Amino acid sequence: MEAARKARTAVVFAWSSWSGNLSTPLPEGQGQLVAEVAAIDPNTIVVLNQPFAMPVARQGQRRARHVVPR
């Protein structure tokens, strides 16, 4: 978390081997990690290997940008 505090932009990579969709939360505590980093750094970028629900992206004052590679 210290790196996120010092960074101008934080980048978090989240991954799962099973199929997700926009109503499926990130598995294995990854959603909590994204939320914690985004709370520290409002310029957080989240890179996902497939679509997942990202409640942190809907929070008013903090936001996370999502990148889903094709």
pLDDT at 69: 62
pLDDT at 18: 79
pLDDT per residue of the chain (70 residues) written in tens, 0 to 9: 888 899 899 999 988 887 767 788 888 899 899 889 988 988 888 888 888 877 666 554 455 555 566 6
pLDDT at 15: 85
Residues 37-43: contacts with CB under 8 Å, at least 24 apart:
37/1, 37/4, 37/10, 37/12, 38/10, 38/62, 38/63, 38/64, 40/1, 40/4, 40/5, 40/10, 41/4, 41/5, 41/7, 41/9, 41/10, 43/8, 43/9, 43/10
